[in-house]
Amino acid sequence: MALQRKHMLRVGAVVACVGVFLAGADLAVTALIGGQTARQLSELSKVALRRSEAAIDSAGSILNRLIAKGPMDCSAIALQALRLHVYQGTIIKDIRTVDRDGAVQCAAYSETLEFDNGWARRDEMFKSADGELRLFRVEQFTGAAFGVMRDIDAQRSLAAILRIDGNLLDVMPVGLRAESNVTLTLPDGEQVAGYHPDASAKSPAQSVAFTTVSDRYPLQATIHVRPQSLSARRDLAYLLTMLAAGTLGGVFGLLLASYLSRPVDPVAELDRALAANEFKPYVQPTFRLKTGDIIGCEILARWEKPDGRLIPPMSFIPLAESSGRIEKLTWQLLKTALRELQPEMKQDKLFKLSVNITPRHLLGDRFIDDLRKTVASSSVSTRQVVLEVTEREELADLDKATDVVKELGELGFRVALDDVGIGHSGLSYIQRLGARILKIDKFFVDAITRDQSAIVVVQMLVALARELDMSVVAEGIEHQEQVDALIACGVEEGQGYLVAPPLSLGRFKQFLDVRRVSAVPGRAAKPELAA
């Protein structure tokens, strides 16, 4: 079972750590690589724009040179001069002279006019920042072309028709070429050039855009990419990082598991629990057998672990005893119980609170002093406090024990001898100690309804108690038949699951309230009060 838990812990820790490391690495690498890709694409849109600006610059200076050469008046010489600048293979596909309104007067190659499908008016053109050039879209049957116009004089202008193609806009890195396109647009959104590296592929339907706007020309270059292209998960660096993170997570998980499953020093654990106040006084009511009236309760320690587990006393009391922590533990429990039950104890002056005291603690030098202080600070009468000393363990020094019990009695405390009948000491021990209460062990209560000898022992203990002026409490009563048999033997008080198991202080208070209201003798505790 322990091995299985260890294995489960190890697997759980490894899985959890790998998960956390992978998630962390995913977040970090996605942000890092995604950010880098976005910066790279912004830079590339700048490159596309700068190249396009250079093309416009070059067209503008050609137009300037032509205008400087002579009158561009559609004469044969003027057209010849224009033709010299329209070469196959360059981006200038035609140069035209246009009038004041932008209407074409003549073209370097008049046959290109047949390709036209529309020509912008002057007022539809966009001015460059220096006012020297005007840019516009030229509709042609073969697709959009890009017009760059410079005024010759107040009446005429010279317009170059450019086709900015892949050579200028081919800026995309290999990995992104197939999933992107690059466009040049005017301020009205009209596209004057576009480039898709993979001519057969369609533009991405859903895309992320990276745009650079020119500060010299009314123009912007935009790179459109599919959102998936930005995903860092396609990157080799991402895969390598995730592999490293997963491995690190696994190693860390193993280390964590071995740290968590390291043997814990039980005494250090006790000290930690004491400091954290994890030991709680649960209490089990004692009652009058004939009437069922509650006459007190016994503190039974429980360890409420931070993970919610409730540890029974036999799992920690022996260690607390052998490690010298029992004193601190006892005072902690008693203080808490006195503080919490003080109102009930003040209201019912006959109510007795019992606490288990180990023989060694009882015989300790400071026991009586500490007990007095603890009880005095709660302003509860010493007469309402019972100290249960077990008969299971021998009192090392019976004479000293007798003196202590006597002194305690003078101070008002009562001492009960616990687990009577199963211990090693004889009747003289009971007689000498001077205890006021005798608690008959559950062993005899269990047997009393089926074993005549148990009846004889109980009757004998009752007789002895009467002789010594002691009262008798029977422990571990679970059935009404046991109550009846105990009454028949002369026992008057008892405790057991028949009335209630050990309860937390809060539940015990509720239990008292319910009992006060119903006040039915001998009735078992309501199931919801069971611990």
- Structure tokens of 495? 């405790």
CB-side neighbour CA atoms (13 Å) of 130: 6
Binding residues among 305-324 for ligand C2E as defined by CB under 6 A = 312-314, 317
Under the binding rule (CB under 6 A), the answer on residue 333 touching ligand C2E is yes
Residues 337-356: x/- map of binding to ligand C2E (CB under 6 A)? Answer: -------------------x
Q: Among 408, 419, 461, 465, indicate the residue that binds ligand C2E (CB under 6 A).
A: 419
- Kindly give, in sequence order, each residue whose CB lies less than 8 Å from that of residue 405, ignoring residues fewer than 6 positions away: 415, 433, 434, 435
Nearest-CA neighbor of 472 among 451, 449, 445? Answer: 445
Phi, psi of 380 (to 5 degrees): -110, 145
The minimum distance between CB 320 and ligand C2E, in angstroms, equals 8
Cβ nearer to ligand C2E, comparing 145 with 333: 333
Under the binding rule (CB under 6 A), the answer on residue 475 touching ligand C2E is yes
Binding residues among 349-408 for ligand C2E as defined by CB under 6 A = 356, 358, 390
Q: Among 159, 301, 363, 433, indicate the residue that binds ligand C2E (CB under 6 A).
A: 301
The stretch near ligand C2E (CB under 6 A) out of 103-111, 175-183, 190-198, 325-333 is 325-333
CB 148 within 8 A of CB 133: yes
The stretch near ligand C2E (CB under 6 A) out of 88-96, 231-239, 298-306, 404-412 is 298-306
Contacts of the segment 66-70: beta carbons below 8 A, 24+ positions apart:
66/95, 66/158, 67/150, 67/152, 67/158
The minimum distance between CB 282 and ligand C2E, in angstroms, equals 7
The minimum distance between CB 478 and ligand C2E, in angstroms, equals 4
Distance (Å, whole) CA 423 – CA 443: 11
Under the binding rule (CB under 6 A), the answer on residue 478 touching ligand C2E is yes
Cβ nearer to ligand C2E, comparing 120 with 357: 357
The position carrying tokens 């890195």 is 173
C-alpha distances out from residue 274 to 116, 165, 268, 345, Å: 94, 81, 10, 26
CB 257 within 8 A of CB 17: no
The stretch near ligand C2E (CB under 6 A) out of 58-66, 83-91, 213-221, 489-497 is 489-497
Under the binding rule (CB under 6 A), the answer on residue 327 touching ligand C2E is no
Under the binding rule (CB under 6 A), the answer on residue 292 touching ligand C2E is no
CB 274 within 8 A of CB 325: yes
Helix (H) or strand (E) holding 241: helix 236-260
The minimum distance between CB 441 and ligand C2E, in angstroms, equals 7
Q: Which residues bind ligand C2E (CB under 6 A)?
A: 284, 299-301, 312-314, 317, 326, 330, 333, 356, 358, 390, 418-419, 475-478, 495-497, 502
